[in-house]
Amino acid sequence: MYEGYLRRARVRPGETVLDMGAGRGELVAVAARRGARAAVGVEYSPAATALARRTIDALDARHGALVVRGDVRATPVREASVDVVTFLDIVEHLGADELHAALREAWRTLRTGGRVLVHTMPNRSIYDITYRTLRALGLRRSWPPDPRNDYEHRMHVNEQTVSSLSRALRGAGFANVRVTTGAWVYTEFLPDEWARRLLRRLARTPLTARLAAGDLWAEAIKPGS
């Protein structure tokens, strides 16, 4: 999976990678093993930071990989020193102001022409548009008005859509912004099998995928002055 992330970000040997919200440290470890000059992860949780260091040791990536405890809104990384910044399943956990600050920090650390790669799930459109439409069309009054569970409400404070994620990146100063739907199709929140089948069909159709796919990808670059 992390090899695939790095291929999508077009990381080349000798480049420097910054992973925002490094979690268990897999991405930085794999990037170092693939020839990155340096792969740095920033992680807020002390427990996750300790786990990430164990991951780096286990994958024998100590030469080139590092995870530090810090805040993605103000990293200890030098200005214009990074080729690629990744946000993998973190933006949905950041409030709008926090996300803007983190994207601006990514912009600060990137060299001119540097790339940013974002992955997030869920795609808010499956709840706000598709679920509500299916509930109304199917006259399913037994369906809850909001299918999210308590965990999702607590953790996913800033779910994105194709449009909102594009606006967030452009608002932070990025150019060549491209937001696309992913391959993940999430149907467990739908109570009826007919609705689950329909959602899977919509997710496979290019014209409706942005209303049915479960995850989103975004790519952008830091433009020149």
pLDDT band at 162 (very low <50, low <70, confident <90, very high): very high
Section 190-210 average pLDDT: 92
% the chain with pLDDT above 90:
86
The conformation of residue 89, written as its DSSP 8-state character, comes to S
Q: Are 126 and 212 within 8 A, CB to CB?
A: yes
Q: Are 119 and 85 within 8 A, CB to CB?
A: no
Domains annotated on the chain, with CATH = 2-122+157-186+214-221 (3.40.50.150)
Neighbours of 184 (CB within 10 A): 14
Does residue 45 surpass a pLDDT of 80? yes
Does residue 218 surpass a pLDDT of 90? yes
Section 173-189 average pLDDT: 95
Q: How far apart are CA 79 and CA 91, in angstroms?
A: 22
Does residue 149 surpass a pLDDT of 70? yes
Question: How high is the pLDDT of residue 139?
Answer: 64
Global pTM value: 0.93
Does residue 209 surpass a pLDDT of 70? yes
pLDDT band at 224 (very low <50, low <70, confident <90, very high): confident
* 104 sits in which H/E element: helix 96-109
Question: How high is the pLDDT of residue 156?
Answer: 95
Question: How high is the pLDDT of residue 81?
Answer: 96
Question: How high is the pLDDT of residue 135?
Answer: 87
- Amino acid occupying residue 75: T
pLDDT band at 199 (very low <50, low <70, confident <90, very high): very high
Section 28-34 average pLDDT: 93
Tokens 């956990």: give the residue.
Answer: 93
Section 60-82 average pLDDT: 93
Taking CA atoms, 220 is separated from 26, 86, 91, 160, 171, in Å, by 23, 11, 15, 16, 12
Q: What are phi and psi of 123, to 5 degrees?
A: -75, 115
Does residue 41 surpass a pLDDT of 80? yes
Residue from 169, 31, 40, 19 nearest 90 by CA: 19
Residue from 174, 10, 11 nearest 103 by CA: 174
Exposure class string for 116-127: b at 16+ Cβ within 10 A, else e: bbbbbbbbbbbb
Q: How far apart are CA 196 and CA 181, in angstroms?
A: 18
Neighbours of 178 (CB within 10 A): 11
Section 5-34 average pLDDT: 94
> What mean pLDDT is reported for the chain?
94
Residues 97-107 pLDDT 10s: 999 999 999 99
